[in-house]
Amino acid sequence: MSDLDFPTSAETLDGVSTVEVRTSANAALIPTIRAVASDLAARADFDLDAISDLRMAVDEACATLVDVAAPSSSLRCTFLVRRERIEVRAEVNAGQPDAAVSTDTFGWRVLQTLADDVQALRTPGVDGNGPTVGIRLDKHAGDAPR
């Protein structure tokens, strides 16, 4: 094994760089998460509209989840940066046993418009804990260069 075996970039062998941001589930911290989203998209050469869309989509997803998060819980946001697209998974532990992401809201419609693909996720809680609810979204870099 030589020094040459070390990866020369943040890219892993399968072409995905992963960035995870974990904060208190508090709306006051969402600006930090959307700034990370914006920065990753800019570095991945997204076009300016796509950067703006991803920033807004991540903000919307996080705001939706903070609303249902249990008190003093965490918001986990994982960015999978691939060639030409970024996949985002955000999740919280919900406070109420029947909590879910509401998809009949103006915010959800905006999210569907902003992202290329978006899904609400839900895993039932065990041992009396609330469920884990999340949002997965996918955003493409924009017009491919010719």
Judged by the rule CB under 8 A, the positions of this chain that interact with other proteins are 24, 26-31, 34, 48-49, 52-53, 55-56, 59-60, 63, 66, 72, 106-107, 110-111, 113-114
| Residue number with CB closer to other proteins (7 or 71) | 71
Handedness of CA 99, 100, 106, 111 (dihedral sign): positive
Q: How far is the CB of 114 from other proteins (least distance, A)?
A: 7
Q: How far is the CB of 71 from other proteins (least distance, A)?
A: 9
| Residue number with CB closer to other proteins (54 or 94) | 54
| Residue number with CB closer to other proteins (52 or 78) | 52
Which residue, among 86, 90, 72, 93, has the nearest Cα to 30 in the 3D structure? Answer: 90
Q: How far is the CB of 1 from other proteins (least distance, A)?
A: 43
Which residue, among 120, 116, 74, has the nearest Cα to 94 in the 3D structure? Answer: 74
| Residue number with CB closer to other proteins (28 or 144) | 28
Asked if 89 and 78 count as a contact pair (C-beta separation under 8 A), the reply is yes
Q: How far is the CB of 44 from other proteins (least distance, A)?
A: 18
